[in-house]
Amino acid sequence: MTSFSGILQSFQPISLNEMDEVELMNRVDKKYVFHSSLLPTLLSEFLPYYRILEIEGKREFAYNTTYFDTETCEMYHQHSQGKLNRQKLRLRLYEITGTSYLEVKINNNKGRTIKERIKTWDPTGTVIETEDFLREQVPFDIASLKPALYTFFKRITLVSGEFKERVTLDFDIRFEVPGGKAISLPYLSIAETKNDAHSHHTPMMDAMKKYHVLPMSFSKYCVGSALLNDSFKKNPFKPQLLKIEKLKNYTLQTN
């Protein structure tokens, strides 16, 4: 059987500059949650159709993200209440490039995801002022914003120029809240397909259907916050929490 790293090396590479030509800042997203043991099988299914992001010879990358919210966690509650035109604010560090971005993700009432971002740091040591960006993009008092959740994971990125699609595969996921309480979820993997249109037949979607992995809503910020904050309402994210518990139990049964 081909090793995980062997499968990754079998893909044709795509550079960061080439991938930016398929950048989808205004897009339709679908997420799929599955057991990490399925990841090599899915990658083998994707192999003929996608190229893999490669930077400095590496094909999987560590991501560190800090999510911000208000003192009363208004962004979390917007999501838990299913409000339209809701937002998430995060600072994401791309370790391989030494670059960080402050990003606002907006889920609008037309089912699209719009991402606005500004670079805050690059390898030259340049620091960019972010207050004007925040005032323009975030409808909250920026003085009230504080770190609310830290996420750590590894990511593989696949790109199809033919389908104008980008696929991300996240694994080795860990959540932590300020103060140190944390949870690691090694059995959890999350795939996300990002298209510029409502597409139902891409190779990634067909592979997920083949292995009975159905699309579901999944916000790392909301799920991580629900797992680690006892006082937060968990019922709005019950399907996601039950899915995680099911994956955990599968791991215990097969070990």
- Residue 22's pLDDT is 64
- 56-95, pLDDT tens digit by residue? 999 999 999 999 999 999 999 999 988 878 899 999 998 8
6, part of any domain: no
- Lowest average pLDDT, out of 36-50, 123-137, 175-189, 221-235, goes to 123-137
Q: How far is CA 69 from CA 238, 240, 247, in A?
A: 21, 21, 29
**Average pLDDT over every residue of 90-118:** 86
* Rounded Cα–Cα distance for residues 164 and 229 (Å): 38
43, 5 contact by CB (below 8 A): no
More confident residue, 109 or 68: 68
64, part of any domain: yes
- Residue 187's pLDDT is 97
- 202-254, pLDDT tens digit by residue? 999 999 999 999 999 999 999 999 999 999 989 999 999 999 999 999 877 76
- Residue 49 sits in a domain whose CATH number is 3.20.100.30
Give residue 46's domain range: 11-254
More confident residue, 7 or 95: 7
- Residue 23's pLDDT is 62
11, 50 contact by CB (below 8 A): yes
73, part of any domain: yes
Instruction: For the chain, give the percent of residues with pLDDT over 70.
Output: 91
Domain tally, the chain = 1
| Residues 82-91: contacts with CB under 8 Å, at least 24 apart | 82/236, 84/108, 84/109, 85/109, 87/137, 87/138, 87/139, 88/219, 88/221, 89/134, 89/138, 89/145, 90/65, 90/66, 90/221, 91/65, 91/66, 91/120
Q: Which residues neighbour 17 within 8 Å (Cβ) at sequence distance 6 or greater? A: none
- Residue 131's pLDDT is 86
2, part of any domain: no
4, part of any domain: no
5, part of any domain: no
DSSP string, 182-234: EEEETTEEEEEEEESS--S--HHHHHHHHTT--B----HHHHHHHHH-TTS--
The dihedral built from the CA positions of residue 240, 184, 231 and 249, taken in this order, carries a sign that is positive
More confident residue, 168 or 252: 168
1, part of any domain: no
Q: Which helix (H) or strand (E) holds 80?
A: helix 74-80
Band (165; pLDDT cuts 50, 70, 90) = confident
19, part of any domain: yes
Band (181; pLDDT cuts 50, 70, 90) = very high
- Residue 123's pLDDT is 62
- Residue 162's pLDDT is 78
DSSP string, 233-245: --GGGHHHHHHHH
- Lowest average pLDDT, out of 3-12, 39-48, 157-166, goes to 157-166
Q: Angle, nearest 10°, between helix axes 238-254 and 220-228? A: 80
Specify the pTM.
Answer: 0.90
- Lowest average pLDDT, out of 120-124, 181-185, 242-246, goes to 120-124
pLDDT for 25 beyond 60: no
Q: How far is CA 90 from CA 8, 14, 178, 201, 213, in A?
A: 28, 26, 15, 31, 28
